[in-house]
Amino acid sequence: MVRITVLYPNTAGKRFDHTYYAQKHLPLVMDRLKSHGMLRYEVDKGLAGGGPGAPAPFVAACHLYFNSAAEFQNGIGANGKEIMGDIPNYTDIAPQIQISEIVFA
């Protein structure tokens, strides 16, 4: 199983609409990628960094679960334009994406 993590760095002066992200964007992603093997997703809202009083390094993150990286890549290939086109509706932060193999759960 793989996890695609999308991270949004906590950058001063940038905006992020958590409500839109959780209630509109990720349901759209699930709707478009489910037929390509997307199993589920999780949404995180950054609260703090590791040290006392430290700001969260990321304002938000999501985790998309697939059986393989190829499934994700096929789904994004087919639906990426629409999914990426929705980003300006909730943020002006450029997302960072990492694909990871889950080795222990």
Q: What is the pLDDT of residue 105?
A: 81
Instruction: Give the torsion through C-alpha atoms of 59, 85, 92, 75, to 10 deg.
Output: 30
Q: How confident is the model at residue 15 (pLDDT cuts 50, 70, 90)?
A: very high
Distance CA 73, CA 3 (A): 12
Structural domains of the chain sorted by starting position, each given as residue range(s) with its CATH number in brackets? 2-101 (3.30.70.100)
- Give the CA distances from residue 1 to residues 26, 64, 65, in Å, rounded to whole numbers and listed in that order: 20, 11, 7
pTM for the whole thing?
0.94
For 16-39, what is each residue's pLDDT tens digit? 999 999 999 999 999 999 999 999
Report percent pLDDT > 90 for the chain: 99
Q: What is the pLDDT of residue 48?
A: 97
Q: What is the pLDDT of the chain when averaged over all its residues?
A: 97
Distance CA 61, CA 47 (A): 11
Q: What is the pLDDT of residue 1?
A: 97
Distance CA 73, CA 33 (A): 10
Looking at residue 31, what DSSP letter applies? H
What average pLDDT does this structure show over 45-53? 95
Distance CA 72, CA 77 (A): 8
- At residue 92, the 3 state secondary structure works out as coil
